[in-house]
Structure 1
Amino acid sequence: MNTSLKPLGNIHHAAYRCVDAEQTRWFYEDLLGLKLAAAFEEDIDFGENLGRNRHFLHMFFELGDGNYIAFFDEPGISKPEHFQRKDSFDMHLALETESLDSLRNWQEQLNAQGKTCLGPIDHGFVHSVYMYDPNGIQVEITCRAENSEAIMKQEAASARAALAAWTAKTRQQKEQVFGSERLDKRARR
């Protein structure tokens, strides 16, 4: 890695496709309290050989730290299968609140508004409640456990060893499913 580059500092935005801009606005602004910060209607050729420009609305919702969650509403190319519920291991969005009491209050408020939030689940380093947004994306509201910093510091000390052990344990199974070429995507010089 080029050591003259400053480390990347934060996520400016994470972006997802949405079924409907207004329905998505309702969920993120009215239910979760995020401010609709921008909505740009755009026509762009991304060079994807679609034979036309992509026409879409690009919305941004502002988080408390000034970063954003963004959505693309593109009815001309979207399909129903894009919006089936995603397995949380494939995609989920975790938003942080400050305490376990706050987490429970969020859950109570959302449940009272007809949105079922499962949990809280104690993951050791965080506590979380889960629901789905209108686009099939699992949304998690989470808070750090009181000892979260100590847990993460302890885990950091053994993270590379845990990764190496996991790779050795699962490599053969993954090669059978994906092939070794798929698992070795590092740039070759």
Structure 2
Amino acid sequence: MQLQRIHHVAYRCHDARETVEFYQRALNMRFVLAIAEDEVPSTGQPDPYMHVFLDAGMGNVLAFFELPGAAPMGRDSNTPDWVQHIAFELASVEDLHAAKAHLLDLGLEVLGPTDHCIFQSLYFFDPNGHRIELAANTHSPQDMARLAEVAPAMLEEWSRTKKAPRHAAWLHDRTRKEHSV
């Protein structure tokens, strides 16, 4: 099997129109497709839905389902809000700052930028409570090669100890040093 790319990522929404309009306004996504059915094609269950698709750039598609007959949306109360999110890449840190200004102008609460050593991020929530991340890469090819090299050992150590491995501490240490200058 050779995967080509992610065809689409789908989330649930409270209101399809509100969701489409939000992503058009906040992230300049183009609304590309709507599918509506009275029953679920894969299961045959009667469950009317609206399925909307938005162009997230470079062939990436973000989709939402509005399910008016289902119980109200909720979140897994055992999972912190920051864990489940979708991240979109911007071209530069400058674009990240411009995006923050745009989102603030729309009246959204925005966290960041947060420096993750290999990229910087902003965080905000859509009208459905889904956390959105905007990220701009700041890494070098050498940093990424070094991180890829230690990834298997980090995973192995984590699997045994459930404690954060220190294999990539050099990256955080370097970033702290750069910020203290």
- In the alignment, what sits opposite 1:33? 28
The corresponding residue for 2:85 is: 92
Q: Taking every aligned residue pair, what percent have the same amino acid on both sides?
A: 33
Post-superposition offset of 1:25: 1.0
1:26 Cα shift? 1.6
Aligned residue for 2:39?
44
User: What TM-score, normalized to structure 1?
Assistant: 0.78
Amino acid at match of 1:72: F
Correspondence for 2:177: none
Q: 1:23 corresponds to which residue?
A: 18
2:100 to 107, 117, 130: 107
2:172 — aligned with what?
none
- Code of the aligned partner of 1:136: G
CA deviations 1:144-186 (Å, max 9, x no partner) are 0042x33221111111111111111039xxxxxxxxxxxxxxx
Shift of 1:83: 9.6
Which amino acid in 2 is paired with 1:17? Answer: R
How many residues end up aligned between the 2 structures? 161
Give the gaps of 5 or more residues in structure 1.
172-189
Alignment match, 2:54: 61
Structure 2 gaps, min length 5: 164-181
Cα distance between partner residues in 1 of 2:160 and 2:138: 31
Match of 2:162 in 1: 170
Q: Are residue 131 (structure 1) and residue 127 (structure 2) matched?
A: no
8 Å CA contact retained: 1:60, 1:69? yes
Contact 1:86–1:136 (CA under 8 A) maintained in structure 2: no
Q: Which amino acid aligns with 1:154?
A: R
Give distance in 2, aligned partners of 1:83 and 1:37: 30
TM-score, normalised relative to structure 2 = 0.82
Matches within 5 A, 1:135-174: 135-147=128-140, 149-170=141-162
Cα displacement string for residues 80-136 of structure 1 (whole angstroms, at most 9, x for unaligned residues)? 4359996221x1010111000000000001101111211000000110000000111
